[in-house]
Amino acid sequence: MKLNPLVSKLALYDIAGTPGVAADVSHINTRSEVVGFMGEEQLGQALEGSDVVIIPAGVPRKPGMTRDDLFNINAGIVKSLCTAIAKYCPHALVNMISNPVNSTVPIASEVFKKAGTYDEKKLFGVTTLDVVRAKTFYAGKAKVNVAEVNVPVVGGHAGITILPLFSQATPKANLPDEDIKALTKRTQDGGTEVVEAKAGKGSATLSMAYAGAIFADACLKGLNGVPDVVECSFVQSSVTELPFFASKVRLGKNGVEEVLGLGPLSDYEKEGLEALKPELKSSIEKGIKFANQS
């Protein structure tokens, strides 16, 4: 975000260690002013005046864990951060990265509803890393220039709820069915591939930072009135019967300008779509229930 020319002020917040990170990042010779905030007592100052809040907080997976296994710790963290957002910057766009995204986005929506600040146009689950992975893996298999590749990824952000739509991938490559299945599985398991390679030292941070920066840049471009900014994101949706769903979203001056439909699906993708719904539904319900518990 320090490299982004649309950022004027970059407020960094954590429960510990922020002054060092802020000093380090602040030496980069780009436009934004960097300020570090540490500890709960400084959270309000960190958030005040924000146009976009990016939440990557919480604990990462270890090998053998699913994203849902992080729920017990990360749900509470997200809930308290969102409570502060509702108080200090209720109009900010919220980019939710903390896992399980399929549940943390519904948690945020409930917290904001309770506070009377919920605007469905301003809450986003960041699924850009799924798109980034789908593009990379497709380009490798199809032997096309990765810079030219586009692949929509819909559904959610965990295992089979991640549904890459390779039938809509461009440039077209007419890959055989077994390649499409392998690419789909690799995209769905992309996070796990990193978690296993890191062998207990966490999950994707560098590719996630890249993906998070791309998505936040799209939000900032939308806020600045740049036309035709479209990214996939997990948002409140009526594209399916589920209340939240990831699909292409057009971003504008108020956040979500339009949630785009799925477009034509192959039979394999239609099956994937039906298969993901029960898991996604229960993750969404789990988040809603948690937020309304206390």
Q: Which stretch binds ligand LMR (CB under 6 A): 20-28, 41-49, 191-199, 243-251?
A: 191-199
Q: How many angstroms separate the Cα of 34 from the Cα of each of 27, 55, 89?
A: 9, 17, 18
Q: How many residues bind ligand LMR (CB under 6 A)?
A: 11
Minimal CB distance residue for ligand LMR: 191
Residue 191 in the binding site for ligand LMR (CB under 6 A): yes
Q: Given the complex with ligand LMR, which of 61 and 122 has the nearer CB atom? A: 61
Q: Given the complex with ligand LMR, which of 61 and 281 has the nearer CB atom? A: 61
97 annotated as belonging to a binding site for a ligand? yes
Q: Which of 32, 95, 98, 99 binds ligand LMR (CB under 6 A)?
A: 99
Residue 256 in the binding site for ligand LMR (CB under 6 A): no
Side-chain-facing half-sphere of 62: CA atoms under 13 Å: 2
Residue 188 in the binding site for ligand LMR (CB under 6 A): no
How far is the first Cα of the chain from the last one, in angstroms, to the nearest whole number? 35
> Mapped to the 3 state alphabet, what secondary structure does 156-194 carry?
CCCHHHEEECHHHCECCCCCCHHHHHHHHHHHHCHHHHH
Residue 12 in the binding site for ligand LMR (CB under 6 A): no
98 annotated as belonging to a binding site for a ligand? yes
Q: Which of 129, 149, 180, 284 binds ligand LMR (CB under 6 A)?
A: 129
Q: Is the Cβ–Cβ distance between 187 and 133 less than 8 Å?
A: yes
Residue 183 in the binding site for ligand LMR (CB under 6 A): no
Distance CA 231, CA 260 (A): 10
Instruction: In angstroms, give the least distance from the CB of 205 to ligand LMR.
Output: 9
Instruction: In angstroms, give the least distance from the CB of 207 to ligand LMR.
Output: 7
Distance CA 107, CA 256 (A): 19
Q: Given the complex with ligand LMR, which of 130 and 217 has the nearer CB atom? A: 130
CB under 8 A, 24+ apart: contacts of 235-240: 235/105, 235/120, 235/123, 235/124, 235/125, 235/259, 236/109, 236/120, 236/123, 239/154, 240/273, 240/277
29: which residues sit within 8 A by CB, 6+ positions away? none
Instruction: In angstroms, give the least distance from the CB of 170 to ligand LMR.
Output: 23
Instruction: In angstroms, give the least distance from the CB of 29 to ligand LMR.
Output: 30
Residue 194 in the binding site for ligand LMR (CB under 6 A): yes
> Is 57 in a helix, a strand, or coil?
coil
State the pairing for strand pair 93-96/123-125: parallel
Q: Which stretch binds ligand LMR (CB under 6 A): 34-42, 86-94, 188-196, 218-226?
A: 188-196
Instruction: In angstroms, give the least distance from the CB of 158 to ligand LMR.
Output: 8
Residue 61 in the binding site for ligand LMR (CB under 6 A): yes
Residue 203 in the binding site for ligand LMR (CB under 6 A): yes
Catalytic (active-site) positions: 157
Helix (H) or strand (E) holding 14: strand 9-14
Residue 131 in the binding site for ligand LMR (CB under 6 A): no
Distance CA 278, CA 159 (A): 13
Instruction: In angstroms, give the least distance from the CB of 267 to ligand LMR.
Output: 27
For binding to ligand LMR (CB under 6 A), which residues are involved? 60-61, 67, 99, 129, 191, 194-195, 203-204, 208
